[in-house]
Amino acid sequence: MQALEALAERDASICMVATDSRGSAAASGFAQKFPDRFIEAGIAEQNAVGIASGLASTGRTVFVVSPASFLSARSYEQLKVDVAYNRSNVKAVGVSAGVSYGPLGGTHTALGDIAALRALPNIEVFAPSDAAQARAIAQYLARSAGPAYVRIGRGDVEAVYGEGEAFDMRGAKLVRDGSDLTIVACGEMVWHAKQAAALLAGEGVSARVLDMFRIKPADSAAVARAARETGRIVTVEEHSVHGGLGELVCAIAARSCPVPVRVLGFPDEECKVGKSGELFRHYGLDAQGIAGAALECLGGRAGCAG
């Protein structure tokens, strides 16, 4: 959000709408610096999206910031009609996505937002992996004129990229090259995928890591190339295995170069309660779990497509 504040200093059209989050890290700095361009909607996500769309109709670039679990569910109709259908210049930012609110249980998890927002027309979907990438996405969105959804976590994350790293918003980011298989990840999972690739290197396995930070529209060419060149794919996401990155990659591979794909994510069950790191370990989404799944996939055992 510091990047957004810097952009707002140069662009008076940038506004923010938030939901009961004036005191949060996501909105507090913006509210203090630009009180005339900040609207606190309270615990009313539907109203917040409607307000944002109204502001956008007057020529403003509006970022609406709210917990992903509520923004993507409670205000889905408003995102569908007020934003996507009308092609409003609204950037919906779902904070504390995935299991960032893990200790609060299932009511606060956001494990279906990628699936839901991917299904809406006219809207871009992003899942940045670290702060450097999030800044680049914010800069891109401040210049773009259409709807977007961005899901980010709650707190600090490990850096995947160095300062000044360049990002092409049209394509996936190659984190690490490899020839034996490809790990496609998004969001916080990219760092874990990078660590898994290092573990696999110790086992003599050359793993490519692709950061699919722009989920919609997706970089189909990068996935097709990975399928052709490495022969096997493992996908990793802090999201349900239904409707997210994994199924997206499977669809691309099926059309372009059918190969075995192993989809790692949260299964079709009520998510356990715990801190995100604990949940990642439990569901095999940490470096060890990803590396183990990759070795199974390479071994050709049953379940590579599961």
Distance CA 105, CA 75 (A): 20
Catalytic annotation on 45? yes
Distance CA 26, CA 55 (A): 20
Burial class (CB in 10 A: 0-12, 13-18, 19+), 226: buried
151 three-state secondary structure? strand
Crossing angle of helices 287-298 and 189-202, in 10° steps, is 60
Residue 258 DSSP symbol: -
Distance CA 205, CA 172 (A): 22
Catalytic residue chosen out of the listed positions 45, 124, 237, 247: 45
The pair of structure tokens assigned to 12 is: 């008076």
189 three-state secondary structure? helix
Q: Which residues are catalytic?
A: 45
